[in-house]
Amino acid sequence: MGSIGRQVANLLAVNPRVRFAPSPTGYLHVGSARTALFNWLYARATGGTYVLRVEDTDAERNRPELTENLLAELEWLGLDWDEGPLYQSERRDRHRGVVQDLLNGNLAYLCNADNEEVPGQEITDGLAVRFRMPANQTVAFTDLVRGPVSFATEDLEDFVIWRSNGTPMFLLANAVDDADMGITHAIRGEDLLSGVPKVLLLLDAIGAPHPVYAHLPLLVNAQRKKLSKRRDDVSIADYREKGYLPEAMVNYLALLGWGPPDDVEERPIAEIAKLFALEDVNKAPAFFDLKKLEFINAGYLRALSKEDFMERAAPWVSAEAAPWPAENFDAEKYSIMVGLVQEKLRTLADLPRFVDFLFLDEPVDDPDSWHKAMVKGPQAAEMLDGAAVVLADCSWETEAIKEAVAAVGEGLGIKLGKAQAPIRVALTGRTVGPPIFETMALCLDRQVVLDRIAQARSRL
RNA sequence: GCCCCGUUCGUCUAGAGGCCUAGGACGCCAGAUUCUCAUUCUGGUAGCACGGGUUCAAAUCCCGUACGGGGUACCA
C-alpha cells in the first residue's frame, strides 16, 4: 500500500482513540515527547481522539510537581489533548475489582514475598497477586509498525498484577484503563513490545477487546543505546531553555522514524499531520541529531516575524537573564539590532552575544577575537588610527561610514573584509556579529565609537 | 542465558521486484555572493551488513550468519 493508500486508510479508521500515558517520574523526556507527538499526529490525521492519562500508580516515585511540569511541557510543544488528564491513581478501586475478579475466577493467585503461591481468594494486605500464565499457547498480534509478532506463553512468567502494598501494577492498570477508556490504538515505544502478550492475555481474561498496537522505534544516543536520563540530554525543558522553538522541536521529532512522502522536511506540524500514517513509521532506532535540530531551529527563527521573534526572545534579554546592567538597556536600539541579527541565530540563546556590546559599559574581552583581528590580522594599529581620523567627521550614516573605512583600508592595501575586523572587535569585542556599519550608524554614537577605538588602540 | 525486534551515505530518511548508475535532508569539503558571521546559490563526499537462494530481473521476497537494540522487577 502506498503512502496515499495509507492516508485513505487513516480516513477510513472509525473514531480512533489514542492515548499518551506517561508516568510522572521525571521531566518530559524527548523520547516521551516523540511518543506523545506520534499519538497526537495519528489522532489529528484520522480525526480521532487523543487522551492524556497520567500513570501514577507507583506512589513512591511520583511527585505532583512533576505532573504539572509534564503537562506544561506538552502544552509548550503544542500537543493539546482532547480528554484528560486522567489520573490512574484515582482508579484504584476499579483496578482492585478486576484483580479480585481474576482471583475469583482462579485466573490469578495470591503470592508471598518468596514468590510462593498462598491459598485464598481475597486480596490480602501483605500479599501480591500474580496472573496465572496459561500453558502452551501462542499469543500473536499484528503491530501496525512492526507487522506480525508472536510469543509463546512458555517463555512468559506468572506476572504480578497487584502489589502487596495494595496498588496495581503497570500491566494491569494499563490494560484495564485502555479497555475502559475505549482506546483503539496503543502507540508507544518499542521497549514496551514484549509486554504486549501479557496485556493481551489479561484483556482476554477480563473479556475486553484488543487495541491495535503500534510500537515506535526507540530514540538512541551516539552509542546506539536507548536515550537515558542519566547519560543524555533528554529533558524537553532543557531544550526550551537552550532557545529551541517548540515548532522546530516537534518538526524535528516527527522526522525521527518517519519521512514525508514528498521530501519536504521543514513544514508546520499541522501539515505533517495531514501526511502522517502509522504504517509509514520505520522499525529501526533513530539517533537524536542535535545538528539537524539546530538547522531546523535556525530556519524557524528566521521565518518569525520581527514581532514574534522579539516576543519569543524576550526571556533571553530580560533583566534577570541578560549579561548587561538592566539600566543600560535601550529598547529602541535593541529593536533595530534584532532586525540585523535575527537571521544569524541558531538558537535564541545565541542572541545576547550578538547585542551585548550595545548595553555593556565596555565590550566583552574575547581573547580569540582579539588575537585574530588585532594580533594576527594585518596592520590593526594603522587601521584603528586611520578609522579614528575618518570617523571623527564623516557623515554618520551606513554608506558614508563604510566608504570611509574602506578608504582607510585601501590606503593600506587591505580589502574591506580584513579592514573592518579590528574596528568590529574594538566596538563589539568579537570578530563575529551584526553588520558593523549599520550598527554604527543606527545604534552607536560617534563618540562611543571613537572612545572604543581609542581604548582598543591603547591596548595594542 | 532465554524471548522479541531491527540493519539503505557519518546522521535522519525515500524506496513496496524492472522507473536505482539508489533520491532528498543534516553534517562535512570546495567554490560563488557578502563589511564579519549567517543567509543564498553551485558542485563534491559518502550507503543497500554478509552469505545463500527464488526470479528473465532483488535494496525490495525467502533462509542463514554477523552485528546492534529492547525485554526478561511487588518500575513504567
- pLDDT (tens, 9 = 90+) of chain A, 460 residues, equals 334 444 445 545 578 999 999 988 778 999 999 999 999 999 999 999 999 999 987 666 667 778 888 999 999 999 999 998 999 989 999 999 999 999 999 999 999 999 899 999 999 999 999 999 999 999 999 999 999 999 999 999 999 999 999 999 999 999 999 999 999 999 999 999 999 999 999 999 999 999 999 999 999 998 899 988 888 888 999 999 999 999 999 999 999 999 999 999 999 999 999 999 999 999 999 999 999 999 999 999 999 999 999 999 999 999 999 999 999 999 999 999 999 999 999 999 999 999 999 999 999 999 999 999 999 888 899 999 999 999 998 999 999 999 999 999 999 999 999 999 999 999 999 999 999 999 999 999 999 999 999 999 998 8
C1' of B51 to CA of A220 (Å): 29
Query: What is the distance between the alpha carbons of residues A344 and A294, in angstroms, rounded to a whole number?
Result: 12
Q: Does the structure's ipTM exceed the value 0.85?
A: yes
C1' of B2 to CA of A157 (Å): 12
Smallest Cα–C1' distance to nucleotide B23: which residue has it?
A: A263
Full set of structural domains in chain A with CATH: 2-219 (3.40.50.620), 236-303 (1.10.1160.10), 316-457 (1.10.10.350)
pLDDT for A80 equals: 96
pLDDT for A85 equals: 93
CB-proximal positions of chain B, under 7 Å? 2-8, 10-16, 23-27, 35-40, 68-76
Alpha helices in A62-140 (DSSP H): 64-77, 92-104
pLDDT for A302 equals: 96
Residue A155 per-residue DSSP state: G
Residue A312: exposed, middle, or buried by beta-carbon count in 10 A (0-12, 13-18, 19+)? Answer: middle
Query: What is the distance between the alpha carbons of residues A55 and A236, in angstroms, rounded to a whole number?
Result: 19
Answer yes or no: are the C-beta atoms of A322 and A348 closer than 8 Å.
Answer: no
pLDDT for A407 equals: 93
pLDDT for A1 equals: 35
Query: What is the distance between the alpha carbons of residues A222 and A200, in angstroms, rounded to a whole number?
Result: 34
pLDDT for A60 equals: 62
Answer yes or no: are the C-beta atoms of A237 and A73 closer than 8 Å.
Answer: yes
pLDDT for A59 equals: 63
Q: Specify the DSSP element, H or E, that contains A296.
A: helix A290-303
- Neighbouring C-alpha atoms within 13 Å toward the C-beta of A223: 6
**Residue numbers in A 65-104, CB below 7 Å of strand B:** none
pLDDT for A2 equals: 39
Q: Is the CB of A366 under 7 A from strand B?
A: no
Q: Taking the model in full, what pTM does it have?
A: 0.93
Answer yes or no: are the C-beta atoms of A70 and A27 closer than 8 Å.
Answer: yes
With CA of A372 and C1' of each nucleotide, the nearest comes out as: B36
Helix (H, G, I), strand (E, B) or coil at A415: coil
Query: What is the distance between the alpha carbons of residues A163 and A123, in angstroms, rounded to a whole number?
Result: 10
Helix (H, G, I), strand (E, B) or coil at A423: helix
- Neighbouring C-alpha atoms within 13 Å toward the C-beta of A211: 26
Query: What is the distance between the alpha carbons of residues A158 and A160, in angstroms, rounded to a whole number?
Result: 7
C1' of B65 to CA of A139 (Å): 28
Number of H helices, E strands in chain A: 19, 13
Q: Is the CB of A258 under 7 A from strand B?
A: yes
C1' of B6 to CA of A282 (Å): 10
C1' of B48 to CA of A287 (Å): 19
pLDDT for A7 equals: 46
With CA of A283 and C1' of each nucleotide, the nearest comes out as: B6
Q: Is the CB of A160 under 7 A from strand B?
A: yes
